[in-house]
A and B are shown apart, each in its own frame.
Chain A
Amino acid sequence: MIDLVLLGDVLAGTARLGTPIAFAALGGVIAERGGLYNIGLEGQILAGALGAAAGSFATGSAVIGLGCGIICGLISGLLLGYMSIRLRINQLVGGIALNLLLAGLTAFLSRQIFGAQAGGARVNGFSQIDIPFLSDLPVVGPSLFSQDPLFYLLIGLAIAAWFWLMKSHKGLDLRAVGENPKAADLAGVPVFRMQYLAIAVSGALAALAGVHLVLSQVYVFAEGMSAGKGFIALAAIILGRWSPIGAICAALFFGFCDAVQFKLQFTSPEIPYQLFLILPYLASLIALVVLGAKASAPASVGLPYDREHR
């Protein structure tokens, strides 16, 4: 007999814990489809979180906070783009460096902005929106149809990103860049421009994860509040087979496992809750080995494109 209250709790937890991972994973998908690793998701989440907190703190408006968060994400994305595309720094090293840089910078700036009692400054955020009728459904109603606006934004963005990437002309060009930049170049695709676009969008999406943390979950900025979500998102990209919809589902699966283990810690301490923490990574790994990454991973991801090479 399934405990419906428990199930509802877990579902709500899934949405809450999975949403930030999903935003970041969506960002990662866009970047990797364009041939760039975005290891800087973690730092970009922080940038978005700080931007959102500062914007909302200064104006009292959550919407302006959202805008500020997105702008911070765009800038941090472009910075990584400059490192990867122009300077051709190893993309993994560049991403790690960006994470270090942004972890420090956001901590520093937060103390400048919010003063010494950093973390104490509560900001206005979004409140949940109940979708009429659907939110009254048992179990799934409160958990899925009674969410904050960013959750609905996520669903909308995922569908939009899927449509753009898989169905639009520009999306086709971007995928071509990620697969074979030389071929795309010869066919007239502005390779570098597409990559900058992808990495900027990627940064903005990752920033939305931070915006969600601040404006929908805890209403304050805390140092290091990304807490590894940017790295988990990298795993979700793999499990999601580099597809926007797939990545969202994978991220929610990560959220689900996290919610379950939270519950288990209290309800059934005799079951090792870590099993549920390991499960999604193991699933990603098995998917990678059994299905093979080659079929879905962009062929040229991580390789800086140099027109004069080859």
Chain B
Amino acid sequence: MDPFLKVTGIGKSFGAVRALHNVNLLASKGECIAILGENGAGKTTFASVLIGLYQPDNGEIKLGGTPVSVTSPARAIEHGIGMIHQHFSLVGAMTAEENILIGLPSTKRSAEARARIRQLCSDFDFNVDFDIRVTEMPVGMKQRVEILKALFRDVSILILDEPTSVLAPTEVAPFLKGVRKLVANGCLVFFISHKLDEIREIADRVMIMRHGRVEGVLPVATTPMAHMSALMMGEKPTGETVETPKAKKARNDTSPAPDALVVSDVCLTDPGGAEILQDVTLSVKAGEILGIAGIDGNGQTELSEVITGLKRQTSGAIHLNGTEISSASIASRIADGIGFVPEDRHAEGLVLSLSVEENMAFRSIGEDRFMSGGLISRRAMHEIASDVVAAFDIRPPDPKLNASALSGGNQQKIVLAREVARARNLLVVVQPTKGLDVGATEFVQNQIRAVAQSGVGVLYISTELEHVLDISDRVAVMAFGRITGVVDPENTTLQDIGLLMTAAPEEE
């Protein structure tokens, strides 16, 4: 008999990048398969191919023995494949029932359909309040509405993308129970996650991906967590130390430098009740680079925003050079000499409709070097920018050009140049090498090293583990909003870091 889902030889490239490479998978109904991998391992790309957002370059998908071509999410639904994204697409002002019925043909919206929705809901023991609007629902209930929406459209393959990351801790257990019920009812569930304990609890098998390849599809019950973590990190599960081919770091271990930044017991709870940061405590010495490793979405971005003042912590304290800045405004933190390279350079770090020189100045606009006689000196702005454009080799070398006209690497240089220049006491960088090619990455790394050598503390947050290990003096690992460990990059194993990143229980 044919397997329910058969995926053979799927490959997908974006330009020169091979996002998926010869992915094969057999799956049957009533199974829950976890997909585990680092950022960029190909988890989401694989899911996107299944639901028709991307067309594979080669390979074949068979459902019940018949090849299918999924060209759009709508076609995917017709084939019974649905996906729940992290960001829900629900209409806030409407009830659960209305949300489920939107867009369906009239034949599927009869009075009896309403009864069926409630039936589905009780079949799966879903707690959904049908009398309130989605706006008034807690996140977990919204998620259940999304799932019901998919189920009502007769979905038999359901892909859940990091489903528990949006949930408050108390909502996780009921959610996992619901998923189990789905599986028991014959649904094939893909569960994209990097939380090993959840995978352990819910999944039958785990598909581990790395660099677009499937490293293994293993039964969860009999595979030790350390083994999964090692496969995910691309390491033989033995415990050998990392080879660090890094340039020798100039460290002055002898003289203990003062703390530039001290973060103590910082917590951040979002309005939905989810705990984004939990008791984060760390310190960065002047001249030191502290790396923060972790899988995307574990609180790193929020940590950078709390330190730079864009978000206000729920509790805890932040000190800069011994002075408390816990409730200082963004502007005063800028004045205190904190440089910040934010994660999203397009949405935050740059104003694309302004010129390169204006972008070099906008976060420092009131400073003397940009002013003359109480007014902004466009000439100073131009001259400073021209120097930086030359020093950072920004191309094309025209400071009057709009920032939108530059490539990603050159745009990042603008942000970095601006922030390096203003970071007198602390530089916070988030994903500084994201999307950059090798040359640009090296340039960025060298600039950051130079800043540290000049005596500024650097907090280097990235999901690209090699880069973090390469540049940092110490590495703190974050998972689920907590610092799960601080390691010395020279004396640690990838396996250990992998375990910290997935926050596997101690006894492993």
Contact = CB atoms under 8 A, between A and B. Distances in A.
B18 to A, nearest CB: 25
Contacts of B106: 169
Contacts of B109: 169
B439 to A, nearest CB: 31
B64 interface: no
Nearest to A298: B93
Contacts of B102: 172-173, 176, 183-184, 187, 189
Interface residues of B, number: 18
B127 interface: no
B216 interface: no
A179 B91 contact: yes
Interface in B73-99: 73-74, 77, 89-94, 98-99
Given A169-B109, A172-B98, A189 B103 contact: yes
Given A172-B98, A186-B73, A188-B74, A179 B93 contact: yes
B89 A188 contact: no
Contact residue range for chain A? 10 to 19
Q: Is the interface of A mostly helix, strand, loop or mixed?
A: helix
Give the one of B73, B93, B94 with max A CB within 10 A.
B93
A299 interface: yes
A212 interface: no
A188 B109 CA distance: 14
A184 B91 CA distance: 8
A184 B103 contact: yes
Contacts of A189: 102-103
Contact of B92 (A179, A182, A188): A179
A175 interface: yes
Nearest to A182: B89
Nearest to A175: B94
Contacts of B77: 188
Contacts of A186: 73, 89
A179 B92 CA distance: 8
A188 B93 contact: no
A180 B103 contact: no
B342 to A, nearest CB: 19
Contact of A183 (B74, B91, B101, B104): B91
Contacts of B94: 172, 175-176, 179
Nearest to B90: A183
A296 to B, nearest CB: 8
Interface string B348-389: 000000000000000000000000000000000000000000
A176 B104 contact: no
Contacts of A299: 92-93
A169 B105 CA distance: 9
A29 B493 CA distance: 63
